Structure 1
Amino acid sequence: MTTRWHQLTSAQFAGLAGGYGGAGPVAALAHAQLSKHLLLIKFIATAWSGDRAYRDRAVETLTRAQAAGPERFAHLLTDPLIGAWAAGTTRRLRGAVRSEVPLGVDCNHLSAVAAAAAAAIGVDADLVVHVSGGGVTLPGLGRALTTAPEHTPLAATVRRGRVTVQGQAGWQTLRTLTGSAERGGLRVALDDLGAYRGGHHAPPADRLDDAELRRWQDTFVAGWTLIARYDPVRAGELTAGLRTLVPLAILDGHSARSATIRDAFGAFGLTRPATPADFAVMLVHEFQHSKLSGVLDIQPLTDATSADLHFAPWRTDPRPVGGLLQGVYAFLGIGQFWERLLGVPEFAGRAADELALVREQVRWGLRGLEVGALLPAGARFTAGMRAALETLDTRRLPDRAVGRAEQAVRGNHEAWRLRNAETLRR
């Protein structure tokens, strides 16, 4: 298993800084995840002090799978939730985080990854896997159900593309959401199975029933159609990089939730959006976070040692420069999407209101970034976002929408200043 050096061309960097980038640069970001994941797996295999036989079988299986089918291997190993597992387990091995799950169970998820790779590529293997969450999750495939106690080691046999787990009591397939064929279509996993699908600000949902799955599919395809029809460059980006959606538990009936995990490029968690337009905006919003996280894997943009805090118009807490950068980039993408819908009669009124507000939020956010702890590359990236905002500013919006947006952001800033006065004096 090998890795390579990755970097963005100046044109790719500039395109991404402007809020878009296109399918090519996004594919480059996605491809870089293979090297990242392999480096993390190498660290886990080296630092793991548990059963060496489990580790050695897993590494040997992965090596054979990569040799037999390098393209399919690369696709599987760039699974976003493999990234989430590998990064989280690395932090555990380095003592940065704690968990009630035995460390050996987290480390030995490597064997489940190896079993999935062997099955996908047609390599036979004999491995040992651990029970987690009532079954054994195989990335990209599904979950083998078992009645064995949590964290029990079980034999896993891979023959002719099929995985059989000792004492297996059933199988749950990883399901997908499929967009229309417009602009090449979009097909993403709806992962309500994975052992490493957590880490958002709400717990992951349990397995969806068939009726709820249909509701997800119907809203998704309608939201995707909006993006494909009115924002084709964004559609190309999503097709190139979005892999997985994780349904989140509904904690209350009054708010939608979504969040992107830094280490899971191409995935995010969400509650089911109420409307197709809401689903479209959520796809744009959260994938902006993935894109920026992918850029940061290749090119640091901010001084990570800075303790400076800033106002983010969409939050009430002071934000470090890295958090502010993520927010500005996400809201810039939202603004660009609403700008595309200004000429669509069905959405024109809402689009004007939303664009007016987002423009003002991004404007205030950029002011904070431009005096923030940016590295030279971060200053260039911020300049690209500033130029994109200036393009959005050329769109004439109703005076009332602009006025309401300006008033809302000024009011939020005053409330933020009063709430955080003591923190900011420290």
Structure 2
Amino acid sequence: MTTLGVLESSFIETQTQPYCDLFRDARLYRSFQAALGGILASGSTRLSQMARAAPGTGAAPHAERRLRRLIHHEHQRADLRPETLEDRLTTLGAQRLAGQDEVVVVMDGSDLRKPHSQALEHLSTVRSLDGHPVSGYPTLNAIGLTPDGHLALLYHTLYSPQAPGFTSANTVIIDAIKRIVQALRAAGVGRMIFVLDRGFDDLKLIRLLVQLKVQFVIRVKHDQRTTRLTPTSIELPLVDAAGHASVQDQFELKRPVVTDGKVKWRKTPAQVRSREVFIDGGRLKLNVVKLEFSVPLKNGQEQGWLLLTNTVLSTTAPGAVVRLYLQRWSIEEVFSWTKSALGWEQVQVLDFDAFRTLVALAWIAASFVFDLGESLDSPQLQLLAHLGGYIPHKNRPPGKKILLLGLLRLANAYLVAHAQPKDALPDHVDTLLHSLFARR
């Protein structure tokens, strides 16, 4: 295969093959491939930019119009409803983790902000980076992590409290958890550990996780929740119950500090307390883990974390629970990357379902990039890494930002090559790329 073939056939065709059965028309399927290729090649979800940059359709007449009709579901011969794409993303993500003994599922929300929009259908209110209310839509997303560092996108949905039929955010979360657990079990995954941030410690969600027989680590928001030290003892707030625990571990922790929307990691001395507690009127036994930072932090930052887990703790396990929770920041990096590199906040369509479809396509494109390192052979991966500015390092393989930048530059080369008559650019284009970027 030629280097330009990464975009032309092997990569896009292989990655989109699991979606082929959603189409009963070959032309619509090619438009779907063009939409995903356009997102990858332009780093944007603006239809005009996608149409111009999509390999194979960049010079085609009415390319933008075709993409617009596709996402607005104007065809009866294709099922591109957002729910269909979201279900398929979960199924394929679970299949990428098939047979794993353990998968850590990190689930969290991320706001899609449209602060200057007024006419978008069912527009809701979310929070800006500095905490002020702005127009936008909430999303819920999940990734799966394996002990050897493999990552797969497991879930995405965009919703609006203003949309007809919406009940509650809890309903969205419950449905997501059930779908993920079902998909992972169907893929033969053994142990599942859900890592959840504040706001996910609602009693209904905890009961569901226990009922599904999966393990979890949840950061506590409701620290005044009534708790018992034994099933029949007097009730006291959870934060006070954690204070009855003894220190079981001390270590130096790399702690995430968010500054201007970016996560920076700083070393901080910390100690961990843990003990058994009972919630839900004494019927549900859990463990509370309290992380305390030994050195007071500045700027009003939190002095510790309170975690709830149903894992069985030994004298050394509380520190492991904290390290499990720290994996939650992996999804923050995914949010940051998809927003900046794939532009899923740049969507400019008024219809709510079309909006959801286009954002779902961006997440599908993101899953392709995560799969790049495993689906491409070494010379192709090497080319994309070089095009993306990768500096070889034996312990640091090229990351998703590098690979996507390589794809963007390769797409530009593809469009230049295919904008010319076939006999005007012979194989010397490919030869030149190989001589410039291939390892000697």
TM over 0.5: no
Query: If you compute each CA radius of gyration, which structure gives the higher value, 1 or 2?
Result: 2
With normalisation by structure 2, the TM-score equals 0.30
Q: Which has the higher contact order (CA 8 A, sep 6+)?
A: 2
With normalisation by structure 1, the TM-score equals 0.30
